[in-house]
Structure 1
Amino acid sequence: MDNRRSSIGRISPLGKVRWKWNSSQWAKAILPGSMDRLQKGWKVWIPHCSCFRTSRLHTRSIDMHEKKSTIGRRERLQQMTKEEIKQAAWAQIHANGASALSLRGIASSLGLSAPALYRYFPSKQELVTALILDAFDSLRLALDATAQRLEALPWQTRLRELGLTYRRWALEQPAAFRLIFGEPINDYEAPWEQTMQIAGASLTALIRTIDDARACGDLQQPVQPIASPGLLAALQAWSDAIHHVHPDILYLAFTIATRVQGLMMVELGQQLPPFFPNGDELFARELERIVLEIENR
């Protein structure tokens, strides 16, 4: 390779000129009369100028960045609008129940036309499914946080605290609780391929706690009464699909959850006898009873 120096630059081993001068020096050296044009603010094209080529690449890079930024802004605005629609739907469920959910009513409350709302949620089915997924995920996060915070404590303490966390969540988010555990919504059928996994995940903290009781020998085994062949097959299929634990563990987790859920339905529905100021002590005793029932003594 020719590494000779010239009055303009140096020939690199790769055969490309590595220019050292600025644009004014280039123009003066290569293009007669270019200095006058530069001083007048003209853009001067300099053949094979590395700085010119870099400038063009930089311009294309800026264009691509601006395009991506525009797409990002559009996606963020779309997500923000979706969240506003869901918040309006939650307000409607809280006020009138899930069965009264109306897309036209939601659109009206947000100042949107019904066709505009359908751009974000093409059907009531899709909106309800999105709300159900959010509700189950909120419950899961609350229970998982409790389980993680108390993971070093005995399983009995963790089970009681999980029950109390479940109750707090339901009292703080009654609309979410009623949507996923309350009355069915007319003409709505949950798409299990979307909801099954996240609904099952809300049981994970309880399942792990019960399985810890089994691992340290504190759980009565086998669980009585013995499951019928049909029930055992159903529990095994459920376990194989999601949780991958012994069917008895899944059975205990599910029945404990439904007992707690039943008490919450009574409390939220204001169906407690008038002699109870609230459900605090009733709920605490039921959790203690659950621990005593499954503990191996």
Structure 2
Amino acid sequence: MTMTRRERLRENTREEIKSIARRHMQEQGTAAISLRAIARDMGLTVTALYRYYPSHDDLVTALILDAFNSLADAMENADSSQPRERYANRLMAVMLAYRAWALQNSADFQLIYGNPIPGYHAPREITVPAVVRGFRVVVGILAEAMANGQLHPSVEYQQLPPHVSAFMTELIEQDGYNIPLEPMYFGVSGWVKMHGMIMLELFQHTPAVVGDPEEFYRFEINNILKTAGLTLD
């Protein structure tokens, strides 16, 4: 449905508010999100800003939704660029897209995965669907690989930790993932390692010890894939 002029102006203003909030995050960190500071930059009163975002938490939630959905879009697009039966290639493309997005959108990445904002509590019913979109891409590929006999865990992963396995099994049922335990475990394990490398790179720790963070990242992601029995073409 076509928006009216008033609706377009309102949406443009909402986007401008978020853009300024991202700039403030980039310059001063996620805790710097302030409706008062944004209003000052826009030449508006704080009261006027409340017409677009009723509270600080509403703005933070909107930023979080945008970030998770943008990251998921990048991962889904990367997956769709690869042949369906090339599971390792699909996962490598997705994980490279994850890193590229994080480096290009470092303020947003730190908002969703960095230090929590004091006093803010994300409304799960609103944020969780966006949060799990990207993760579902990864575990979905792993589940497809398993269904087609291509997932072959290395010896050390053939006996998973019992308490972790029980928790993940319950999580799979509760959140409706509809996948076996193995893809979930490999998805979480790979994500933890991938995320750790990216966070260290974002804060400039990795370059000093590896020289080329991208080459290091590719090599380690390939090793993660090998533990699942998946080989790149």
TM-score by length of 1: 0.71
Contact 1:217 1:296 (C-alpha < 8 Å) held by counterparts: no
Runs (5+) with no aligned partner, structure 1: 1-68
Distance 2:114 2:213 in 1: 19
Pairwise CA distance, 1:283: 0.2
What amino acid does structure 2 have at the position aligned with 1:87?
A: S
SS at match of 2:208: coil
Distance 2:51 2:104 in 1: 31
Which residue pairs with 1:184 in the alignment? 116
Q: Which runs of 4+ in 1 moved over 6 A?
A: none
Contact 2:72 2:134 (C-alpha < 8 Å) held by counterparts: yes
Which residue pairs with 1:146 in the alignment? 78
Contact 2:17 2:38 (C-alpha < 8 Å) held by counterparts: yes
Alignment pair present for 1:267 and 2:219: no
Q: Of the two structures, which has the highest relative contact order with CA contacts closer than 8 Å and spacing of 6 or more?
A: 2
Alignment pair present for 1:77 and 2:9: yes
Which residue pairs with 1:135 in the alignment? 67
Pairwise CA distance, 1:232: 3.4
Which residue pairs with 2:42 in the alignment? 110
Structure showing greater Rg: 1
Aligned positions of 1:85-234 closer than 5 A: 85-220=17-152, 223-228=157-162, 230-234=163-167
What amino acid does structure 2 have at the position aligned with 1:134?
A: D
What amino acid does structure 1 have at the position aligned with 2:32?
A: A
Pairwise CA distance, 1:251: 2.0
SS at match of 2:4: helix
Pairwise CA distance, 1:273: 5.2
Give % identity.
33
What amino acid does structure 1 have at the position aligned with 2:70?
A: S
Which residue pairs with 1:235 in the alignment? 168
SS at match of 2:65: helix
Pairwise CA distance, 1:215: 1.7
Distance 2:124 2:83 in 1: 31
The structure with the largest helix share of the pair is 2
Q: Root-mean-square deviation (CA), in Å?
A: 2.2
Pairwise CA distance, 1:202: 1.1
TM-score by length of 2: 0.90
Contact 1:197 1:242 (C-alpha < 8 Å) held by counterparts: no
> 1:253 is matched with which residue: 187, 192, 196?
187
Contact 2:87 2:230 (C-alpha < 8 Å) held by counterparts: no
Alignment pair present for 1:276 and 2:202: no
Structure-2 change in CA distance of 1:296 and 1:114 (3 Å) = closer
Pairwise CA distance, 1:212: 2.1
